[in-house]
Structure formats: C-alpha cells, structure tokens
Amino acid sequence: MKSLRLLAVASGGGHWIELLRLRPAFDGANFHYVTVRDEYRSDVPGACFSVVCDATQWDRLKLVWQALQILWIVVRVRPDVVISTGAAPGYFAVRIGRLLGARTIWVDSLANVEELSTAGRMAGKHADLWLTQWPELAHEGGPEYAGKVI
C-alpha cells in the first residue's frame, strides 16, 4: 500500500479524532492530512499536512473559500483515495476527489446517533463507500454499518 496516495480530511474535534483512528486500516499508505486547525499537525508528525479555513453552513463566503482550498489540494495531491469523517471540508474533498477519479470513503461521525449528519447525507451519495457508525442508521440506498471507530 506504500504507493497509495490517501487524502484524509476532517474538520476539528471529534471528526479529527475519528479520522486518526482509521489510520491502521491504511497502514503503509502515503497520507496527506487536511483539517481546519494547524495545531493538529503534531498529531501526525512527518506526514504531509494542509490547513483550510474553518467554515459552516451559515457562512457561505467561507464555504466557497474552503471549497477552493480543497480543490487546490486535491489537484496538487492527486490522491488515489479520499477518506473523510466530516464535516464541510470532507464533503468538498469527497465531491472533488470523485470528480477527479479518486475512490472515496465517507464515515459519518459517531456523534450522529439518531440521524445522519447534514454533510454525511450530502457526501454519502457521492462516496464509493458510505459508512455509518450506528446499525440503526444503515439502510438500503444509504450508508452501511461496519462497526464503530471509537
């Protein structure tokens, strides 16, 4: 898996922690991490690392800027696989990565117990593999359940 270029994208907090817990599944891959906080760089010493602006659905201008930042990273990295645990930066990475030929994986956050996240509902339809961490949320035409990250 050494030659596999993997773009791992998550916003902050729990999304980032869950993403880091997926690393063993891709042991040996060439990781490039993308998140919204530079202080997370110390969590992945020696790995390629990019920071994008933090944006929410309530700040459309920042979302556009974040999408452009993700586009630039995806074009530059040319990942074989894009994986995300959410939220907005992961959505953009999955959509853009898929358009540019990468395989894509969306893992909806463990925090979404009763319903899928907004980003998950949007991105999941475009992911090659769409996963939920709650068996109750898995359904035909929707995400699959394969266990929990945490």
Q: Which domain holds residue 95?
A: 5-145
Q: How many domains, in total, are found in the chain? A: 1
150 part of a folded domain: no
CA angle 41, 39, 84 (to 5 degrees): 60
HSE-up of residue 80 (Cα within 13 Å, Cβ side): 10
Phi/psi for 84 (5° steps) reads -145, 150
How confident is the model at residue 148, as a pLDDT?
A: 74
CATH number for the domain spanning 81: value is 3.40.50.2000
How confident is the model at residue 111, as a pLDDT?
A: 63
72 part of a folded domain: yes
How confident is the model at residue 100, as a pLDDT?
A: 98
User: CA-to-CA distance for 126 and 59, rounded, in angstroms?
Assistant: 23
The reply to whether the predicted model has a pTM over 0.75 is yes
**pLDDT tens digits, one per residue of 1-45:** 558 999 999 999 999 999 999 999 999 999 999 999 999 999 999
How confident is the model at residue 48, as a pLDDT?
A: 98
**pLDDT tens digits, one per residue of 62-100:** 999 999 999 999 999 999 999 999 999 999 999 999 999
